[in-house]
Structure 1
Amino acid sequence: MAEDQAPGEGLARPDRTLGEIGLWQFAPYLMNRIMGRYNANLQTTLKTQNLTTAKMRTLAVLAVVPGLTINELSVYAVTEQSTMSRTLEAMEKAGLIHRRARDTDARVREITLTDAGRAEFDAVWPLMYARYEDMFAGIDEAERTAFIGTLQKILKNVRLHEI
């Protein structure tokens, strides 16, 4: 890249149309398509566990990062806050999560899994992992590592432009 060239400049002309780029070369389309298929493939399995995608994501995130607020959890689980609120109410009624005041600020409520919530996640994780492995069939470890690294860079770039 030339010193006077801005990052990303020259990679895509702003006047290029989606037709010129093509759907199969347009990363946002591919990412949405992949996740749509992943979620659809997982949905059948989730129904047998009486879980929605939002509940599954909530269980997964809280299994790794306990003690999040609803706002934080909405971001991690990629779910609208209103959907997250309804999801958490249902999960609390089912005994899967617990909300408690944060030690450092009683106004802030932290969400954690209960033992039942952990058991629910432990039951669904093998199914989630199997679908995850299906996505990477035929892709060697080096390609997978490079791909994950690229996704992390993209996520960082996207977060730089958050409002």
Structure 2
Amino acid sequence: MEQKAPDKRERISTLGQIGLQQFAPYLMNRIMGRYNATLRDNFRRQHRTIPQVRTLAVLSVMDGVTVGDLSVYTVIEQSTLSRTLDALEGHGLVRREPDASDSRVRKVYLTDKGRAEFNRAWPAMHDAFERMFDGIDDAEYAALIGTLQKMLNNIRMHEI
């Protein structure tokens, strides 16, 4: 009887065997680290941090999100998000309101001033995004997005 060749993941057991340039988590961290570093300098000129702008970005797309869901969407720990929301609320960029059906739950909304602040940050974000995908055609981009969505589905801990 013919033996089946071992699965690629079964054959490779160490990071040294995989190599950093073939280890997707390493590459994803490097890419996002570079993306954030590029934006950090721009946001400093606006007196904003990466977590603040990330929060404004999510709220610009889906307003009225619970704090818990916002933590998931922004990939910011709740303690950091709480401080971030305090700062944004203090500058009049967001507002927190009790949920109509459960007063213990707080929803976060973008104010007009917050939308304007995000709109000032967006061109730098879009430029960095465009540079990141320079030379990558639509089919490659679609394949990457499909793969990333499958990966997120494999590891996610939340329904969102």
TM-score by length of 1: 0.90
- Map 1:137-156 onto structure 2 (within 5 A): 137-156=134-153
Matched-pair contact (CA < 8 Å) for 2:12–2:18 = no
Q: Per-residue displacement from partner, 1:26-66 (whole Å, max 9, x unpaired)?
A: 00000001000000011111111111000010000011111
Match of 1:52 among 49, 52, 56: 49
Number of matched pairs: 155
- Map 1:73-152 onto structure 2 (within 5 A): 73-152=70-149
Q: Aligned equivalents of 2:28 and 2:88: distance in 1?
A: 29
Q: Per-residue displacement from partner, 1:92-124 (whole Å, max 9, x unpaired)?
A: 010000011111212211000011001001111
SS in 2 for 1:79: coil
Q: Aligned equivalents of 2:117 and 2:83: distance in 1?
A: 18
- Map 1:15-54 onto structure 2 (within 5 A): 16-54=13-51
SS in 1 for 2:105: strand
Q: Aligned equivalents of 1:10 and 1:126: distance in 2?
A: 44
Q: Aligned equivalents of 1:15 and 1:46: distance in 2?
A: 41
Alpha-carbon offset, residue 130 of structure 1: 0.7
SS in 2 for 1:107: coil
**Which residue type is aligned with residue 59 of structure 1?**
L
| Unmatched 5+ stretches in structure 1 | none
**Which residue type is aligned with residue 111 of structure 2?**
T
| Unmatched 5+ stretches in structure 2 | none
